[in-house]
Structure 1
Protein backbone atom coordinates (compact mmCIF):
# COMPACT_ATOMS: atom_id res chain seq x y z
CA UNK A 1 0.00 0.00 0.00
CA UNK A 2 2.33 1.51 -0.81
CA UNK A 3 2.83 3.94 0.32
CA UNK A 4 3.42 2.91 1.17
CA UNK A 5 2.48 4.40 3.94
CA UNK A 6 3.66 4.57 7.15
CA UNK A 7 3.21 1.87 9.66
CA UNK A 8 4.22 3.98 12.41
CA UNK A 9 7.44 3.64 14.17
CA UNK A 10 10.85 4.93 13.25
CA UNK A 11 13.07 1.90 12.84
CA UNK A 12 16.24 1.67 14.83
CA UNK A 13 19.52 0.97 13.11
CA UNK A 14 20.02 1.98 9.48
CA UNK A 15 22.87 1.74 7.02
CA UNK A 16 25.37 4.53 7.41
CA UNK A 17 25.32 5.23 3.69
CA UNK A 18 22.18 5.74 1.65
CA UNK A 19 21.39 5.10 -2.00
CA UNK A 20 21.61 7.80 -4.67
CA UNK A 21 18.39 9.32 -6.01
CA UNK A 22 18.48 8.86 -9.79
CA UNK A 23 15.18 10.44 -10.86
CA UNK A 24 12.02 11.99 -9.39
CA UNK A 25 8.63 12.53 -11.01
CA UNK A 26 5.77 14.47 -9.42
CA UNK A 27 2.45 13.16 -10.75
CA UNK A 28 0.25 15.79 -9.10
CA UNK A 29 0.13 17.78 -5.87
CA UNK A 30 -0.24 14.60 -3.79
CA UNK A 31 1.82 11.91 -5.48
CA UNK A 32 5.37 11.34 -6.69
CA UNK A 33 7.64 8.48 -7.68
CA UNK A 34 11.40 8.19 -7.57
CA UNK A 35 14.17 5.80 -8.47
CA UNK A 36 17.34 5.15 -6.48
CA UNK A 37 20.45 3.08 -6.97
CA UNK A 38 20.22 -0.55 -5.91
CA UNK A 39 22.39 -1.68 -2.99
CA UNK A 40 25.13 -4.08 -4.02
CA UNK A 41 24.02 -7.67 -3.60
CA UNK A 42 20.46 -6.70 -2.63
CA UNK A 43 17.88 -9.38 -3.45
CA UNK A 44 14.09 -9.30 -3.11
CA UNK A 45 10.97 -10.96 -4.49
CA UNK A 46 8.65 -8.89 -6.65
CA UNK A 47 5.87 -7.55 -4.40
CA UNK A 48 7.95 -7.15 -1.24
CA UNK A 49 8.61 -3.96 0.70
CA UNK A 50 11.58 -2.47 2.53
CA UNK A 51 12.19 0.28 5.06
CA UNK A 52 13.43 3.50 3.48
CA UNK A 53 13.94 6.96 4.89
CA UNK A 54 15.90 10.09 5.58
CA UNK A 55 17.66 11.51 8.65
CA UNK A 56 15.84 14.08 10.78
CA UNK A 57 17.40 17.34 11.92
CA UNK A 58 19.36 15.52 14.62
CA UNK A 59 20.64 12.90 12.16
CA UNK A 60 18.38 10.13 13.48
CA UNK A 61 16.85 8.08 10.63
CA UNK A 62 13.11 8.35 9.99
CA UNK A 63 12.13 5.09 8.29
CA UNK A 64 8.85 3.82 6.85
CA UNK A 65 7.74 0.75 4.89
CA UNK A 66 7.59 1.26 1.12
CA UNK A 67 6.72 -1.35 -1.46
CA UNK A 68 9.37 -1.77 -4.15
CA UNK A 69 7.66 -0.76 -7.38
CA UNK A 70 10.38 -2.18 -9.63
CA UNK A 71 10.66 -5.91 -10.41
CA UNK A 72 13.35 -8.08 -8.88
CA UNK A 73 15.51 -7.95 -12.02
CA UNK A 74 15.65 -4.15 -12.30
CA UNK A 75 19.05 -2.55 -11.76
CA UNK A 76 17.37 0.36 -9.93
CA UNK A 77 14.75 0.55 -7.18
CA UNK A 78 11.53 2.47 -7.79
CA UNK A 79 9.14 3.77 -5.12
CA UNK A 80 5.75 5.53 -5.25
CA UNK A 81 4.65 7.86 -2.48
CA UNK A 82 2.03 10.29 -1.32
CA UNK A 83 2.94 13.72 -0.03
CA UNK A 84 1.94 14.41 3.56
CA UNK A 85 2.63 18.10 4.36
CA UNK A 86 3.24 17.39 8.04
CA UNK A 87 4.40 13.79 7.69
CA UNK A 88 7.64 13.08 9.55
CA UNK A 89 9.11 11.40 6.47
CA UNK A 90 7.08 12.41 3.40
CA UNK A 91 7.32 16.13 4.18
CA UNK A 92 11.07 15.67 3.61
CA UNK A 93 11.00 12.90 1.03
CA UNK A 94 8.87 14.87 -1.43
CA UNK A 95 11.69 17.41 -1.72
CA UNK A 96 14.40 15.00 -2.87
CA UNK A 97 16.17 15.65 -6.17
CA UNK A 98 18.58 13.54 -8.24
CA UNK A 99 21.90 13.24 -6.45
CA UNK A 100 20.40 13.18 -2.96
CA UNK A 101 20.76 10.12 -0.74
CA UNK A 102 17.94 7.96 0.64
CA UNK A 103 18.38 5.26 3.27
CA UNK A 104 17.33 1.81 2.03
CA UNK A 105 17.32 -1.07 4.49
CA UNK A 106 18.18 -4.37 2.83
CA UNK A 107 15.76 -6.73 4.59
CA UNK A 108 12.76 -7.10 2.26
CA UNK A 109 9.56 -8.78 3.43
CA UNK A 110 5.83 -8.87 2.70
CA UNK A 111 2.88 -11.08 1.84
CA UNK A 112 2.16 -9.83 -1.71
CA UNK A 113 4.34 -12.44 -3.37
CA UNK A 114 3.44 -15.20 -5.82
CA UNK A 115 4.76 -17.85 -3.43
CA UNK A 116 1.88 -17.07 -1.03
CA UNK A 117 -0.77 -18.01 -3.61
CA UNK A 118 -1.98 -21.40 -4.80
CA UNK A 119 -1.98 -22.08 -8.56
CA UNK A 120 -4.91 -20.50 -10.39
CA UNK A 121 -6.19 -19.17 -13.70
CA UNK A 122 -6.75 -15.45 -13.09
CA UNK A 123 -4.74 -13.13 -10.85
CA UNK A 124 -6.58 -10.07 -9.50
CA UNK A 125 -4.38 -7.29 -8.08
CA UNK A 126 -6.75 -4.95 -6.22
CA UNK A 127 -5.47 -1.55 -5.12
CA UNK A 128 -6.40 1.91 -3.98
CA UNK A 129 -4.10 4.93 -4.20
CA UNK A 130 -0.43 4.17 -3.77
CA UNK A 131 -1.33 0.55 -3.06
CA UNK A 132 -0.59 0.00 -6.74
CA UNK A 133 3.16 0.03 -6.00
CA UNK A 134 3.74 -3.68 -5.23
CA UNK A 135 1.69 -4.54 -8.31
CA UNK A 136 3.93 -2.26 -10.37
CA UNK A 137 6.61 -4.81 -9.51
CA UNK A 138 4.49 -7.93 -10.03
CA UNK A 139 3.07 -6.85 -13.39
CA UNK A 140 6.65 -6.76 -14.72
CA UNK A 141 7.55 -10.13 -13.16
CA UNK A 142 7.92 -12.91 -15.80
CA UNK A 143 6.68 -15.55 -13.34
CA UNK A 144 3.33 -13.74 -13.10
CA UNK A 145 2.62 -14.55 -16.74
CA UNK A 146 3.96 -18.09 -16.43
CA UNK A 147 1.52 -18.85 -13.60
CA UNK A 148 -1.64 -17.06 -14.75
CA UNK A 149 -3.65 -16.85 -17.95
CA UNK A 150 -5.28 -13.55 -16.98
CA UNK A 151 -3.68 -10.74 -14.94
CA UNK A 152 -6.04 -7.97 -13.85
CA UNK A 153 -4.92 -4.79 -12.08
CA UNK A 154 -7.67 -2.70 -10.48
CA UNK A 155 -6.92 0.74 -9.07
CA UNK A 156 -9.50 2.97 -7.41
CA UNK A 157 -8.69 6.61 -6.61
CA UNK A 158 -10.64 9.75 -5.86
CA UNK A 159 -9.30 11.86 -8.74
CA UNK A 160 -8.26 11.18 -12.31
CA UNK A 161 -4.74 12.53 -11.79
CA UNK A 162 -4.19 9.89 -9.13
CA UNK A 163 -4.53 7.23 -11.82
CA UNK A 164 -1.77 8.66 -14.03
CA UNK A 165 1.01 6.59 -12.49
CA UNK A 166 -0.93 3.39 -13.15
CA UNK A 167 -1.64 4.44 -16.72
CA UNK A 168 2.06 5.09 -17.27
CA UNK A 169 2.91 1.68 -15.78
CA UNK A 170 0.55 0.06 -18.29
CA UNK A 171 2.15 1.90 -21.20
CA UNK A 172 5.66 0.94 -20.10
CA UNK A 173 4.57 -2.65 -19.49
CA UNK A 174 3.49 -3.11 -23.09
CA UNK A 175 6.87 -1.75 -24.23
CA UNK A 176 8.83 -4.01 -21.88
CA UNK A 177 11.16 -6.30 -23.87
CA UNK A 178 10.99 -9.00 -21.19
CA UNK A 179 7.23 -9.36 -20.59
CA UNK A 180 5.55 -6.91 -22.97
CA UNK A 181 4.49 -9.50 -25.52
CA UNK A 182 2.79 -11.74 -22.95
CA UNK A 183 1.32 -8.77 -21.10
CA UNK A 184 -0.33 -7.55 -24.29
CA UNK A 185 -2.35 -10.77 -24.30
CA UNK A 186 -2.85 -11.49 -20.59
CA UNK A 187 -2.79 -8.14 -18.73
CA UNK A 188 -5.69 -5.71 -18.27
CA UNK A 189 -5.97 -2.57 -16.17
CA UNK A 190 -9.32 -1.56 -14.64
CA UNK A 191 -9.21 1.98 -13.19
CA UNK A 192 -12.04 3.76 -11.39
CA UNK A 193 -12.62 7.04 -9.59
CA UNK A 194 -14.89 7.78 -6.64
CA UNK A 195 -15.13 11.59 -6.76
CA UNK A 196 -14.18 13.09 -10.11
CA UNK A 197 -16.17 11.93 -13.16
CA UNK A 198 -14.33 9.36 -15.30
CA UNK A 199 -14.96 6.56 -17.77
CA UNK A 200 -15.55 4.17 -14.87
CA UNK A 201 -16.69 5.26 -11.43
CA UNK A 202 -17.26 3.50 -8.13
CA UNK A 203 -15.50 1.55 -5.40
CA UNK A 204 -14.10 -1.70 -6.71
CA UNK A 205 -15.87 -3.64 -3.95
CA UNK A 206 -19.23 -2.28 -5.10
CA UNK A 207 -18.38 -3.11 -8.71
CA UNK A 208 -17.49 -6.66 -7.68
CA UNK A 209 -20.69 -7.06 -5.67
CA UNK A 210 -22.83 -5.75 -8.54
CA UNK A 211 -20.97 -7.85 -11.11
CA UNK A 212 -20.16 -4.79 -13.23
CA UNK A 213 -16.41 -5.40 -13.26
CA UNK A 214 -16.90 -8.93 -14.59
CA UNK A 215 -19.28 -7.71 -17.27
CA UNK A 216 -16.81 -5.01 -18.31
CA UNK A 217 -13.89 -7.44 -18.52
CA UNK A 218 -15.79 -10.43 -19.89
CA UNK A 219 -14.75 -12.64 -16.98
CA UNK A 220 -16.79 -14.86 -14.63
CA UNK A 221 -17.45 -13.84 -11.01
CA UNK A 222 -14.77 -14.55 -8.42
CA UNK A 223 -14.33 -18.27 -7.78
CA UNK A 224 -11.78 -19.72 -5.32
CA UNK A 225 -11.25 -22.64 -7.68
CA UNK A 226 -9.98 -20.38 -10.46
CA UNK A 227 -9.13 -16.92 -9.10
CA UNK A 228 -6.31 -15.61 -6.94
CA UNK A 229 -6.47 -12.16 -5.36
CA UNK A 230 -3.86 -9.76 -4.00
CA UNK A 231 -5.05 -6.72 -2.03
CA UNK A 232 -3.16 -3.54 -1.17
CA UNK A 233 -4.95 -0.35 -0.23
CA UNK A 234 -6.73 1.53 2.51
CA UNK A 235 -7.80 -0.26 5.65
CA UNK A 236 -11.41 0.03 4.50
CA UNK A 237 -10.61 -1.68 1.20
CA UNK A 238 -8.60 -4.41 2.88
CA UNK A 239 -11.36 -5.25 5.34
CA UNK A 240 -14.16 -5.06 2.77
CA UNK A 241 -12.27 -7.25 0.30
CA UNK A 242 -11.42 -9.75 3.03
CA UNK A 243 -15.10 -10.09 3.98
CA UNK A 244 -16.17 -10.24 0.34
CA UNK A 245 -13.68 -12.98 -0.53
CA UNK A 246 -14.19 -15.12 2.55
CA UNK A 247 -17.95 -15.03 2.00
CA UNK A 248 -17.18 -16.62 -1.37
CA UNK A 249 -15.00 -19.36 0.11
CA UNK A 250 -11.54 -17.84 -0.36
CA UNK A 251 -8.86 -18.56 2.25
CA UNK A 252 -6.04 -16.18 3.12
CA UNK A 253 -2.55 -17.26 2.18
CA UNK A 254 0.90 -16.60 3.60
CA UNK A 255 4.50 -17.36 2.71
CA UNK A 256 4.35 -20.50 4.85
CA UNK A 257 0.83 -21.51 3.78
CA UNK A 258 -0.32 -20.49 0.29
CA UNK A 259 -4.01 -19.64 -0.17
CA UNK A 260 -6.47 -18.10 -2.60
CA UNK A 261 -5.86 -14.49 -1.54
CA UNK A 262 -3.30 -12.33 0.26
CA UNK A 263 -3.44 -8.84 1.75
CA UNK A 264 -0.59 -6.51 2.71
CA UNK A 265 -0.95 -5.56 6.36
CA UNK A 266 2.19 -3.49 6.82
CA UNK A 267 0.73 -0.12 5.94
CA UNK A 268 -2.32 1.68 4.64
CA UNK A 269 -2.64 4.68 2.34
Structure 2
Protein backbone atom coordinates (compact mmCIF):
# COMPACT_ATOMS: atom_id res chain seq x y z
CA UNK A 1 0.00 0.00 0.00
CA UNK A 2 1.42 3.39 -1.00
CA UNK A 3 0.91 6.65 0.83
CA UNK A 4 -1.35 9.22 -0.80
CA UNK A 5 0.45 11.88 -2.76
CA UNK A 6 0.45 15.48 -1.46
CA UNK A 7 -1.97 16.41 -4.25
CA UNK A 8 -4.40 13.65 -3.27
CA UNK A 9 -4.20 14.64 0.39
CA UNK A 10 -4.95 18.26 -0.48
CA UNK A 11 -7.91 17.18 -2.57
CA UNK A 12 -9.31 15.07 0.27
CA UNK A 13 -8.90 17.95 2.73
CA UNK A 14 -10.66 20.32 0.36
CA UNK A 15 -13.46 17.83 -0.19
CA UNK A 16 -13.90 17.28 3.55
CA UNK A 17 -14.31 20.98 4.29
CA UNK A 18 -17.99 21.90 3.80
CA UNK A 19 -18.82 25.07 1.90
CA UNK A 20 -19.95 27.99 4.12
CA UNK A 21 -22.61 28.75 1.50
CA UNK A 22 -25.73 27.24 0.04
CA UNK A 23 -25.85 27.43 -3.76
CA UNK A 24 -29.48 28.26 -4.48
CA UNK A 25 -31.56 28.41 -7.62
CA UNK A 26 -33.27 31.72 -8.40
CA UNK A 27 -37.00 31.04 -8.81
CA UNK A 28 -38.19 34.49 -9.90
CA UNK A 29 -37.12 38.13 -10.15
CA UNK A 30 -39.32 41.24 -9.98
CA UNK A 31 -38.03 44.70 -10.93
CA UNK A 32 -40.11 47.33 -9.13
CA UNK A 33 -38.24 50.34 -10.55
CA UNK A 34 -34.87 51.01 -12.18
CA UNK A 35 -33.45 51.06 -8.64
CA UNK A 36 -35.36 48.34 -6.76
CA UNK A 37 -35.89 44.63 -7.30
CA UNK A 38 -36.91 41.50 -5.43
CA UNK A 39 -36.06 37.87 -6.02
CA UNK A 40 -36.92 34.48 -4.61
CA UNK A 41 -34.71 31.44 -4.17
CA UNK A 42 -35.30 27.81 -3.35
CA UNK A 43 -35.11 27.26 0.39
CA UNK A 44 -32.69 24.58 1.61
CA UNK A 45 -34.51 21.89 3.58
CA UNK A 46 -32.24 22.33 6.60
CA UNK A 47 -32.33 26.15 6.70
CA UNK A 48 -34.05 27.58 9.80
CA UNK A 49 -34.39 31.22 10.84
CA UNK A 50 -36.47 33.56 12.97
CA UNK A 51 -38.70 36.09 11.22
CA UNK A 52 -36.75 39.36 10.92
CA UNK A 53 -33.25 37.85 10.72
CA UNK A 54 -30.72 38.50 7.96
CA UNK A 55 -28.27 36.33 6.08
CA UNK A 56 -25.33 36.85 3.74
CA UNK A 57 -26.25 36.78 0.05
CA UNK A 58 -23.79 36.91 -2.83
CA UNK A 59 -22.37 35.71 -6.09
CA UNK A 60 -19.17 33.82 -6.92
CA UNK A 61 -16.18 36.08 -7.51
CA UNK A 62 -15.25 36.87 -11.07
CA UNK A 63 -12.08 35.36 -12.58
CA UNK A 64 -11.39 33.20 -9.53
CA UNK A 65 -11.81 36.01 -6.99
CA UNK A 66 -13.51 35.47 -3.63
CA UNK A 67 -17.33 35.55 -3.53
CA UNK A 68 -18.90 39.00 -3.16
CA UNK A 69 -21.37 39.01 -0.26
CA UNK A 70 -23.68 41.43 1.52
CA UNK A 71 -26.12 41.18 4.44
CA UNK A 72 -29.76 40.92 3.37
CA UNK A 73 -32.84 40.71 5.55
CA UNK A 74 -34.98 37.70 4.73
CA UNK A 75 -38.30 39.05 3.47
CA UNK A 76 -40.09 35.73 3.99
CA UNK A 77 -41.65 34.52 7.25
CA UNK A 78 -39.94 31.62 8.99
CA UNK A 79 -42.45 29.10 7.65
CA UNK A 80 -42.23 30.01 3.94
CA UNK A 81 -41.13 27.39 1.42
CA UNK A 82 -39.06 29.88 -0.55
CA UNK A 83 -36.81 32.71 0.55
CA UNK A 84 -37.45 36.24 -0.69
CA UNK A 85 -35.07 39.22 -0.75
CA UNK A 86 -35.56 42.92 -1.52
CA UNK A 87 -32.60 44.83 -2.95
CA UNK A 88 -31.49 48.20 -4.22
CA UNK A 89 -29.54 48.50 -7.46
CA UNK A 90 -26.19 50.26 -7.22
CA UNK A 91 -24.77 50.77 -10.76
CA UNK A 92 -21.14 50.32 -9.72
CA UNK A 93 -21.76 48.31 -6.53
CA UNK A 94 -19.49 45.28 -6.11
CA UNK A 95 -22.51 42.99 -5.66
CA UNK A 96 -25.72 44.68 -6.81
CA UNK A 97 -24.27 45.78 -10.15
CA UNK A 98 -24.23 42.04 -10.94
CA UNK A 99 -27.05 40.79 -8.73
CA UNK A 100 -29.62 43.02 -10.46
CA UNK A 101 -29.00 41.04 -13.67
CA UNK A 102 -29.98 37.64 -12.29
CA UNK A 103 -32.84 35.74 -13.90
CA UNK A 104 -34.82 32.65 -12.97
CA UNK A 105 -32.60 29.59 -13.16
CA UNK A 106 -29.42 31.41 -12.09
CA UNK A 107 -27.54 30.50 -8.90
CA UNK A 108 -26.83 32.74 -5.92
CA UNK A 109 -24.85 32.05 -2.77
CA UNK A 110 -26.41 32.25 0.69
CA UNK A 111 -24.69 31.92 4.04
CA UNK A 112 -25.78 29.13 6.36
CA UNK A 113 -26.09 31.16 9.56
CA UNK A 114 -28.95 33.66 9.83
CA UNK A 115 -28.73 36.20 12.64
CA UNK A 116 -30.00 39.60 13.73
CA UNK A 117 -31.82 41.64 16.35
CA UNK A 118 -34.98 42.57 14.41
CA UNK A 119 -36.84 39.68 16.02
CA UNK A 120 -39.68 39.46 18.50
CA UNK A 121 -37.38 37.73 21.00
CA UNK A 122 -35.46 41.02 21.43
CA UNK A 123 -38.56 42.95 22.55
CA UNK A 124 -40.41 42.89 25.83
CA UNK A 125 -44.19 42.71 25.89
CA UNK A 126 -46.33 45.61 24.68
CA UNK A 127 -49.61 46.51 23.03
CA UNK A 128 -48.48 48.20 19.81
CA UNK A 129 -45.64 47.17 17.49
CA UNK A 130 -44.14 49.78 15.16
CA UNK A 131 -42.14 48.49 12.19
CA UNK A 132 -40.35 51.58 10.83
CA UNK A 133 -38.27 51.30 7.67
CA UNK A 134 -36.85 53.36 4.83
CA UNK A 135 -36.19 52.05 1.31
CA UNK A 136 -35.25 48.37 1.30
CA UNK A 137 -35.36 48.51 5.11
CA UNK A 138 -38.94 47.33 4.56
CA UNK A 139 -37.65 43.78 3.96
CA UNK A 140 -37.66 42.47 7.55
CA UNK A 141 -41.20 43.81 8.06
CA UNK A 142 -42.38 41.55 5.24
CA UNK A 143 -41.19 38.71 7.44
CA UNK A 144 -42.29 39.97 10.86
CA UNK A 145 -45.74 41.03 9.57
CA UNK A 146 -46.41 37.44 8.43
CA UNK A 147 -45.27 35.92 11.73
CA UNK A 148 -48.28 34.55 13.69
CA UNK A 149 -46.63 35.40 17.02
CA UNK A 150 -46.63 39.08 16.03
CA UNK A 151 -50.42 39.17 16.23
CA UNK A 152 -50.69 37.09 19.38
CA UNK A 153 -48.22 39.36 21.21
CA UNK A 154 -49.46 42.75 19.98
CA UNK A 155 -52.96 44.13 19.55
CA UNK A 156 -51.85 46.52 16.83
CA UNK A 157 -49.06 46.34 14.21
CA UNK A 158 -48.07 49.47 12.24
CA UNK A 159 -45.78 49.22 9.21
CA UNK A 160 -44.19 52.60 8.36
CA UNK A 161 -42.35 52.85 5.05
CA UNK A 162 -40.56 56.03 3.93
CA UNK A 163 -39.27 56.43 0.36
CA UNK A 164 -38.25 59.26 -1.98
CA UNK A 165 -40.80 58.74 -4.75
CA UNK A 166 -44.25 57.16 -4.89
CA UNK A 167 -43.06 54.46 -7.29
CA UNK A 168 -40.56 53.36 -4.63
CA UNK A 169 -43.39 52.13 -2.39
CA UNK A 170 -42.71 48.50 -3.28
CA UNK A 171 -45.12 46.04 -1.67
CA UNK A 172 -47.72 48.79 -1.16
CA UNK A 173 -50.44 46.58 -2.66
CA UNK A 174 -49.30 43.70 -0.50
CA UNK A 175 -49.62 45.64 2.76
CA UNK A 176 -52.95 47.22 1.80
CA UNK A 177 -54.59 44.14 0.26
CA UNK A 178 -52.44 41.09 -0.40
CA UNK A 179 -51.58 40.31 3.20
CA UNK A 180 -55.29 40.03 4.00
CA UNK A 181 -55.37 36.91 1.80
CA UNK A 182 -52.51 35.22 3.64
CA UNK A 183 -53.77 31.75 4.65
CA UNK A 184 -52.02 31.85 8.02
CA UNK A 185 -52.44 35.42 9.33
CA UNK A 186 -54.79 37.10 6.84
CA UNK A 187 -57.68 37.63 9.25
CA UNK A 188 -55.37 38.93 11.99
CA UNK A 189 -53.64 41.32 9.59
CA UNK A 190 -56.98 42.68 8.38
CA UNK A 191 -57.99 43.44 11.95
CA UNK A 192 -54.66 44.47 13.51
CA UNK A 193 -52.26 45.73 10.81
CA UNK A 194 -51.99 49.33 9.60
CA UNK A 195 -49.78 50.47 6.73
CA UNK A 196 -48.37 54.02 6.86
CA UNK A 197 -46.29 55.10 3.81
CA UNK A 198 -44.56 58.49 3.53
CA UNK A 199 -42.89 60.06 0.49
CA UNK A 200 -40.20 62.74 0.71
CA UNK A 201 -39.76 64.07 -2.84
CA UNK A 202 -43.25 64.05 -4.38
CA UNK A 203 -46.74 65.17 -3.48
CA UNK A 204 -48.38 62.54 -1.30
CA UNK A 205 -51.13 62.36 1.30
CA UNK A 206 -48.54 61.73 4.02
CA UNK A 207 -45.47 63.65 2.84
CA UNK A 208 -42.04 63.92 4.43
CA UNK A 209 -39.62 61.89 6.48
CA UNK A 210 -41.04 59.62 9.15
CA UNK A 211 -38.89 61.33 11.78
CA UNK A 212 -40.44 64.70 10.94
CA UNK A 213 -43.93 63.25 11.17
CA UNK A 214 -43.06 61.76 14.56
CA UNK A 215 -41.74 65.12 15.82
CA UNK A 216 -44.73 67.08 14.52
CA UNK A 217 -47.19 64.57 15.93
CA UNK A 218 -48.74 64.07 12.47
CA UNK A 219 -47.95 60.35 12.51
CA UNK A 220 -49.98 59.80 15.66
CA UNK A 221 -52.79 62.16 14.62
CA UNK A 222 -53.17 60.39 11.27
CA UNK A 223 -53.50 57.06 13.06
CA UNK A 224 -55.76 58.50 15.76
CA UNK A 225 -53.32 57.57 18.49
CA UNK A 226 -52.02 59.47 21.55
CA UNK A 227 -49.09 61.72 20.62
CA UNK A 228 -45.68 60.16 21.28
CA UNK A 229 -44.32 56.73 22.16
CA UNK A 230 -44.86 55.13 25.55
CA UNK A 231 -42.53 52.58 27.18
CA UNK A 232 -45.68 51.05 28.68
CA UNK A 233 -47.42 50.26 25.40
CA UNK A 234 -45.18 50.79 22.37
CA UNK A 235 -42.45 48.56 20.95
CA UNK A 236 -40.44 49.62 17.91
CA UNK A 237 -38.20 48.00 15.28
CA UNK A 238 -36.00 50.15 13.01
CA UNK A 239 -34.35 49.31 9.68
CA UNK A 240 -33.10 51.41 6.77
CA UNK A 241 -30.88 54.47 6.44
CA UNK A 242 -28.47 55.10 9.28
CA UNK A 243 -29.66 58.72 9.49
CA UNK A 244 -33.26 57.61 10.12
CA UNK A 245 -32.22 54.92 12.59
CA UNK A 246 -30.01 57.27 14.58
CA UNK A 247 -32.60 60.06 14.71
CA UNK A 248 -35.50 57.77 15.55
CA UNK A 249 -33.51 55.94 18.23
CA UNK A 250 -32.72 59.30 19.86
CA UNK A 251 -36.42 60.21 19.76
CA UNK A 252 -37.35 56.88 21.34
CA UNK A 253 -34.75 57.37 24.08
CA UNK A 254 -36.24 60.81 24.78
CA UNK A 255 -39.53 59.04 25.52
CA UNK A 256 -37.77 56.80 28.03
CA UNK A 257 -37.51 53.74 25.81
CA UNK A 258 -34.56 51.37 26.04
CA UNK A 259 -32.81 49.50 23.24
CA UNK A 260 -33.13 45.74 23.36
CA UNK A 261 -31.07 42.81 22.10
CA UNK A 262 -31.29 39.04 21.90
CA UNK A 263 -29.50 38.83 25.23
CA UNK A 264 -31.52 41.56 26.93
CA UNK A 265 -34.93 42.34 25.40
CA UNK A 266 -36.04 45.99 25.46
CA UNK A 267 -38.52 48.53 24.11
CA UNK A 268 -36.98 49.00 20.67
CA UNK A 269 -34.42 47.31 18.44
CA UNK A 270 -32.35 48.24 15.42
CA UNK A 271 -30.03 46.29 13.16
CA UNK A 272 -26.43 47.35 13.71
CA UNK A 273 -25.08 45.03 11.02
CA UNK A 274 -26.32 47.25 8.22
CA UNK A 275 -24.48 50.37 7.17
CA UNK A 276 -27.06 51.85 4.83
TM-score between the two structures when normalised by the length of structure 2: 0.90
1:76 aligns with 2:66: no
SS at match of 1:136: helix
Distance 1:71 1:132 in 2: 13
Once residues 226 and 160 of structure 1 are traced to their aligned partners in structure 2, the CA distance between those partners, rounded to angstroms, is 31
Uncovered stretches (5+) of structure 2, i.e. residues with no partner: 1-17
1:26-69 alpha-carbon deviations (Å, 9 max, x no partner): 00000000000011210000000000100121242111100000
Residue in structure 1 matched with residue 6 of structure 2 by the alignment: none
| Structure 1 match to 2:213 | 207
Structure 1 counterpart of 2:29: 24
Paired residue for 2:189, among 183, 195, 205?
183
The residue number in structure 2 matching 1:217 is 223
Unaligned runs of 5+ in 1: 1-12
Q: How many residues align?
A: 257
* Alpha carbons of structure 1 residues 170 and 76: separation in structure 2 relative to 1, 3 Å: farther
Q: What do you get for the CA RMSD once the two structures are aligned?
A: 1.3
The CA deviation string for residues 44-96 of structure 1, in whole angstroms up to 9 with x for no partner, is: 00000000100121242111100000000000000000000000000010000
What is residue 39 of structure 1 aligned with on the other side? 44
Q: Report the counterpart of residue 253 of structure 1 in structure 2.
A: 260
- Find the counterpart in structure 2 of residue 56 from structure 1: 61
Structure 1 residues 93 and 224: alpha-carbon distance in aligned structure 2, compared to 1, 3 A threshold? same
Look up the match of 1:7: none
Cα distance in 2 for partners of 1:137, 1:23 equals: 18
Structure 1 stretch displaced more, 162-171 or 141-150: 162-171
Q: Give the TM-score normalised by structure 1.
A: 0.93
Say which of 227, 237, 249 aligns to 1:230.
237
Whether the 8 Å contact between 1:15 and 1:103 is mirrored in structure 2 is: no
- Larger RCO (alpha carbons 8 Å, 6+ apart): 1
Which stretches of structure 1, 4 residues or more, deviate above 6 A after TM superposition?
none
Query: Which residue, out of 138, 150, 155, partners 1:132?
Result: 138
